[in-house]
Amino acid sequence: MISPIIILSLLIGPLLVAFISSRFTRRNVEIRKLACWGLGLAFIYFSMGHFVQTNGMVEMLPQWVPMRLPLVYVTGVLEVAIAIALFIPAYQSIASKLAIVVFVAFFPANIYAALNGVGLGGHQWGPVYLLIRGPLQIVLIAWAYWLCLGPHNKSAPAHG
């Protein structure tokens, strides 16, 4: 179950690199910008499943959902659009809000997949996967809300 580790690494990576390099360059770390970049990298990762593991993504949706295959592709494109917007300062706020909506809207599919042991990314583990996925969703929503949207300072001073 490496997927949550990959997601957290992508999320934290830009900030971690910036904080480490700021120790040497004495430059301020632009927290909001880099938090959005990390979330953007995570959304690129999320979207890859829609195009690389399409059948697994289709299995994550109940049979009664209409047009499951097109829906998987459309949501993959939506995630790519959110990812791109997270890298563009003028769109980071709206992209962060959309990211939160996506996390909430897509979570029922994660519950369905885990309860039925179908799909990909750990859902095959069954309901125990929700013990990881649920808190991860909370972390992602909190990240988008407090670090990408929050009213905090947009940069942190370099330490040294």
Strands (E), 13-153: none
Each domain of the chain, given as residue ranges in start order, spans 3-149
Q: Please give the helix or strand (H or E) that residue 114 lies within, else none.
A: helix 92-116
In tens, the pLDDT along 22-41 reads: 999 988 999 999 999 999 99
* Separation of alpha carbons 156 and 31, rounded Å: 7
Query: Which band of pLDDT confidence, cut at 50, 70 and 90, is reported for residue 150?
Result: confident
139 or 115, which is more confident?
Answer: 139
| pTM (predicted TM-score) | 0.90
Distance CA 92, CA 149 (A): 8
Other residues' Cβ atoms within 10 Å of the Cβ of residue 143: 24
Q: Comparing 93 with 113, which gets the higher pLDDT? A: 93
Average pLDDT over residues 104-123: 84
Per-residue pLDDT tens over the stretch 53-85: 999 899 989 999 999 999 999 999 999 999 999
